[in-house]
Structure formats: structure tokens, C-alpha cells
Structure 1
Amino acid sequence: MLPANRSSRNEDFTHRPFTLDGKTSGGGGAAFEAFLLQDLKPFIDEKYPADPAGSVPFGHSLGGVFAANVFAGNPDAFAGYIIGSVVVPRDPGLVDRVAKATARARGQRIFLAVGGAEDATEAEKREMKRGFATLAAAFRRKPGVTLQAKSYPGENHISYYPNLMLDGFRFVLPPTVPVDLPYAPLSQGELARYLGAYALPDGHTLTIKPGFDRYLAAQLDDQPAVYWLPNGAGRFYAYTADLDVTFDPHGLTLTGRGVKVRAERKPAQ
């Protein structure tokens, strides 16, 4: 348990101790990173049908310091990184470590952002903008990194947060299914043609059931169902799973993020 004057946020999100207003704190980030990579991430990958190639850390403010440090130590641990409003003075050596780590990156997509009006007071001393500029320089034009660096004019430390999430995830995990894909409802009789069980190559079973409002409900083993919206005869899409689905007389094909998986229809019981 931390002493009353120690913030768990300061402790867990910074890899090295720092001094602020005469008080020293921080330094627990490495232990938190170890928990994330060695315990939590493997647990999720084993227990749930997660896509390890699509996992992304999101960090803002001190969380941005933490996310940048994870990249610096293990750039290939995640497919991409969303990093906002990094307080560089909390970890003066961070930028140099990030720059060195880019040589070990393997196609990671980085979304780096800052609010254009964050450093509005003298007390802030341009901390956020300096962190944004120096980290952008560390990431930019490196062969193993695809960077989008964005400043939001007129926005403060908190007000651009919703856009940081929306723009960040769209960039680091480009959608397979276009966001404007039209919904083309089918009759109940047409939908019934696709109901049943389908065998995936890894031994799991995908069960297609009726969904509400003329959708299909797709359930992988005992996991919660995902709704598929029709886009025409034999064609469905799932925004929540970013999947494009095509049915044929013998089964279905799932396409997501450049990967195709075939599932054969099981005989009716």
C-alpha cells in the first residue's frame, strides 16, 4: 500500500522516479509493464477470442508516458500505440529511449497527439507541446514505424480526449469494413438459409442464430454473440468485430484486417 502522499497514478505510470514541488515519486512503471505483458495480456489471449495482432495500449498524460515507455522497452509487444499529451519532464530520458527503440519496430502504427491549447499558462511551461514535438521527431521517418502526429487547435488537456480515442483507434487499427457500408435488410426466410453451426480450422465452432431486427447473431463457442448486419444476399458485416462475412453453399469466409478464415458448415443435428 502506498503512503498517503503517494499517488498510484504517479507510481504506476512512470518508469523512473521524478521530483515535483520538492516531492519525489514514481518508478513503478516497470513493474506495471511486467504485469501487463507477462500476466494480463497472456491471460486475455488465452481466455478470450482476442486478436493478439490487434491489441493496442492507449495512454494519455502520465498514461502517455507509460505507453511510450512500453514502446521503448518492447516496441513489438503491440500492433500500435496511442499516445497523448506526454509529460516529458516526468521522464527526461524517454525521448532518447523511444528513438533508439524504433530500430526494433516491425511496422507499428503510432498515433501521437496533443491539445493545441494545453500549455495556456506560464506554470505549464509548454510541457505538453514540447513532449509532442520531441516524440514526433523521434518517431518520424523511421522504417519500422508509421506515425500520425496530430495537434487539436483550441483544445485543452481534457477536451480533445474523445477525439484522441476516435482518431487514434481508426489510425492504429484501420477498419476492414468501411464505416459507410450500407445496411441491406433481408427477409426472415432469406436469413434462415444461413443459420446453423460452422467449424473453424482451430476446432472452435461458430453458431449462427437469429438476431433482433433481421440481424444474425454469431456466437463463438460460449462467448457473447456478435451481431452481423446484412449487406445483401450472402454478405454480412460486423462493426464491433470489424469483420466482412461471405456465405456460400458450403460454409462462410471471415475477412478482417487482411486475414481470411474459412469455416465449413456442419451437418444439421
Structure 2
Amino acid sequence: MALIVAPPAAAQEAAAPLRVVSQGPGTLYRADPTVQFVVHSEKAGRDYLVQVTPPAFGPWLPGQKAAVAYVLDGGYGIMGPTARLLGGSNAMLPAYVVTVAYPAGQPSSRERDMLFATAVRPDGSKALGGGAEAFMGFIVDELRPWVEAKYPVDRAKSVLMGHSQSGIFTANVLARRPDAFASYLIASPSVWAQPDIAERLARVSLQGPPRRVFVAYGEDEAPHMVSGGRQVARALARNKAAVVSRSEVFAGADHISFYPELAARGLGYLLPRKRPINYPNPTPVPAETLRRYEGVYVLSDGRRLPIALKGGKLATTLAFPVELDALPRPGRFFVNGVDVQFTFEGPPDGPAQLLRIDYLGEVAVARRAP
């Protein structure tokens, strides 16, 4: 099926007035592609640090959109680059990762943002919540539309991910506004802060398709955390009309030690590839045959894709220069390590007239330029 270029209705919504205070490059490593923004939320009445890490390759076809994961607690500084790396493997779909944290030099309001009401911790002290309604408004009504207007992301492949107090917040977004995201990753939820969350999750109802949910916690966490994770997992497992869920207990892990595995296990479950990347052996093709495929091919959005014979192989440039290796079927080529295939079509003894590009299971057609 050919790729439909028209954007989904959700992408046509006007972005909420999220004001960018500052913008700069990422700082994790020398070639870090992350862009960071300080944005001001009118709903929450404060600034947030938003970091956006793009996928390593794609989306590239006309009108194509990528998966997107919104990760709270700044992804602890590792989720953006980890997901970028795994998106180039069979672990998960390539995805934009949007992390949310607090700007340097400004106080954190994490506890207030993540909890809907003041709660009593297991040690008897108070956790001063009450700002989660406003923070949910920032995430759902300000940040999400801003990201969708700025980047080619698909709400139908969106994830909200939170851990600990942000895990109970993520569970609450699912319970209160389940249509906000396509899927949810709830890690070590602080159920002690809201004991009725399991009941709320068991009552979630939807008009559309069920939401995918991944619940995780560590085997060696404090007993009240293990109990909370188990309650959430069981409640979701019962609500089969609204949720398709998977839960995982990480053996030998404490409250934080399993977090690095959540990209591969959690995001991999919520953002699975349609098909695995294959690594076939190239098929030798005579140079005179390859010359039939040389030329410039024009995509539906007007981009021109030159295909040239270099060093005995066809080569072109997508997001970066690539070489095309031949498959056994005539006219079909692949790029090593990337889920993309090229199929040239035309007369058996003349130049190819049409090029089909299949990337991540979506297909676009390019025609030979006159």
C-alpha cells in the first residue's frame, strides 16, 4: 500500500501557546543530535527543560511520521541516546524521544507536579502534591501539540513514560485522559501516594482501540513498591476492553537499576517494528544491468533522488549517503542494516521508469525524471 501523504487530523490541530524561552544543542557527547529547549508553561506557571533526540534514520518518505516517546524525569539523562541507538536495531521502532525535566538554576517542583494531592509517604512524612492537574495540562495540551507541530511525529505511535512518582503520574494520565497517548510505560509506580489508582485503571474505558501498556518494577524494591506495581499490573490485566498490557518484574533489580533496560523491553513492546531488519548476502549484478537503474527519480513531494553507479554499486543519499546491495529478485535492492528496500520497475531491456521505496513498512513511489 502506498503511503498516504495527508497528515492525520490530530496533526492539523493548532498548537497550544507554549513559549520557547531558550534553545541550544545537546551536551551529552560530541556528536549529540539532541536539541534542548527551555519552555514556559502557562498551565503550570513555570519553565521546563525539554530535550528532543531524533531517531538515527528517518522518517524520510513523503508524509511519513515517526514514533515518539515523551519521557518524564529527563529520562535520567540516558533514555534519549539509548532509544536512538536501539531504534537502529531490531529492538524497537526508530522514535523521537522528548524528555521533560527542570532547567538548571531553577527549583524542581517534581513532587508537586507528579502527585494530584498531598500524600503520606511510607515513612510517615508528607509528600506535597497537588500540581499534577496543571502538569498534565502542560504535557497533554501544551507540549504534545507543540512537538507535533514542530517534528514529524505520529500520535498513533506515541508513548508516555514515567518512573516512581512520575510512574504514578503516567498511570493517572491513562486513567483520566486515556486518549492522550497511544501507549503508556508505567515503571515502579508510587501507589502509596494514591491507593485508589488500581481501581481507577480497572474502570478505564475508551471509544477507540485499546491502549498498550507496559508495567515494570524491580524484584528487590521495597515491599510497598513491589505491592504497588503488582496492583497496577493486575488492574490493567483485568481491563481487557480498554488495555492490552504486559508486566515485567526485573529479577534482582532495585528501584532504579532496571531503568536502563526499559528502552529495549518497555519501548520495544510499545513501539515494535512491523518486521525485523534483515542482513542478507548481496547478489552480484553486472554493471550493464545496474546502469539501467541510474538516473534521477522524483518523489511526490518534489524531492529528486539521484541514483548513480559508483565503485560497482548503486548509491544515493537519503538522510545520509547509502549504497544499494542487490537482492536475488531482479530490480530489488536493500541497504545493509536499515529497514529499507528499493524496487526498480520498467521494461526488461530499457531504463527503469519507476522506483518504489519501502521504509519501515510504508511505501512511496518515485518516477524517473524526463
Q: TM-score, structure 2 length as denominator?
A: 0.56
- Contact kept, 8 Å, 1:177 with 1:239, in 2: the verdict is no
Residue 34 of structure 1 pairs with residue 127 of structure 2 = no
Task: State the partner residue of 2:360.
Answer: 256
Task: State the partner residue of 1:140.
Answer: 237
1:199-221 Cα offsets, whole Å, 9 max, x none, are 34xx47475789xx9975424xx
Residue 70 of structure 1 pairs with residue 167 of structure 2 = no
**What's the offset of the Cα at 1:193?**
4.3
Find the aligned partners of 2:117 and 2:324 in 1 and give their Cα distance. Answer: 48
SS in structure 2 of the partner of residue 86 of structure 1: coil
Task: State the partner residue of 1:128.
Answer: 225
**What's the offset of the Cα at 1:186?**
8.4
Find the aligned partners of 2:208 and 2:169 in 1 and give their Cα distance. Answer: 17
- Contact kept, 8 Å, 1:13 with 1:29, in 2: the verdict is yes
Find the aligned partners of 1:138 and 1:194 in 2 and give their Cα distance. Answer: 58
Percent identity, aligned pairs only? Answer: 28
Task: State the partner residue of 1:236.
Answer: 334
SS in structure 1 of the partner of residue 203 of structure 2: helix
Task: State the partner residue of 2:31.
Answer: none
Residue 168 of structure 1 pairs with residue 266 of structure 2 = yes
SS in structure 2 of the partner of residue 53 of structure 1: strand
Task: State the partner residue of 1:89.
Answer: 192
Residue 19 of structure 1 pairs with residue 116 of structure 2 = no
Of 132-141 and 231-240, deviating more is 231-240
SS in structure 2 of the partner of residue 57 of structure 1: strand
**What's the offset of the Cα at 1:133?**
1.2
Return 5+ residue gaps in structure 1 as ranges. Answer: 120-125, 220-224
SS in structure 1 of the partner of residue 318 of structure 2: strand
**What's the offset of the Cα at 1:255?**
4.9
1:254 maps to amino acid: D
Count the aligned residue pairs. 246
Find the aligned partners of 1:205 and 1:97 in 2 and give their Cα distance. Answer: 49
2:367 maps to amino acid: R
Find the aligned partners of 1:68 and 1:138 in 2 and give their Cα distance. Answer: 11
Structure 1 residues 205 and 7, CA gap change in structure 2 (3 angstroms): same
**What's the offset of the Cα at 1:236?**
3.5
Structure 1 residues 86 and 204, CA gap change in structure 2 (3 angstroms): farther
Of 57-66 and 21-30, deviating more is 21-30
Task: State the partner residue of 2:75.
Answer: none
1:59 maps to amino acid: G
Structure 1 residues 239 and 138, CA gap change in structure 2 (3 angstroms): farther
Task: State the partner residue of 1:222.
Answer: none
Find the aligned partners of 1:238 and 1:109 in 2 and give their Cα distance. Answer: 31
Find the aligned partners of 1:171 and 1:76 in 2 and give their Cα distance. Answer: 19
1:182-211 Cα offsets, whole Å, 9 max, x none, are 065689x759947745434xx47475789x
Return 5+ residue gaps in structure 2 as ranges. Answer: 1-45, 48-106, 346-353
SS in structure 2 of the partner of residue 55 of structure 1: strand
- Contact kept, 8 Å, 1:116 with 1:154, in 2: the verdict is yes
2:356 maps to amino acid: L
Find the aligned partners of 2:302 and 2:180 in 1 and give their Cα distance. Answer: 26
Of 18-27 and 160-169, deviating more is 18-27
SS in structure 1 of the partner of residue 171 of structure 2: helix
- Contact kept, 8 Å, 2:325 with 2:336, in 1: the verdict is no
Greater relative contact order (CA < 8 Å, ≥ 6 in sequence): 2
Find the aligned partners of 2:180 and 2:342 in 1 and give their Cα distance. Answer: 32
**What's the offset of the Cα at 1:136?**
1.2
Structure 1 residues 248 and 46, CA gap change in structure 2 (3 angstroms): farther
**What's the offset of the Cα at 1:13?**
1.6
Task: State the partner residue of 1:122.
Answer: none
Find the aligned partners of 1:33 and 1:226 in 2 and give their Cα distance. Answer: 41
Task: State the partner residue of 2:248.
Answer: 150
SS in structure 2 of the partner of residue 56 of structure 1: strand
**What's the offset of the Cα at 1:145?**
1.6
Q: TM-score, structure 1 length as denominator?
A: 0.75
1:48-106 Cα offsets, whole Å, 9 max, x none, are 11122111111111121111111111212222111110110112222222111145562
Find the aligned partners of 1:172 and 1:46 in 2 and give their Cα distance. Answer: 23
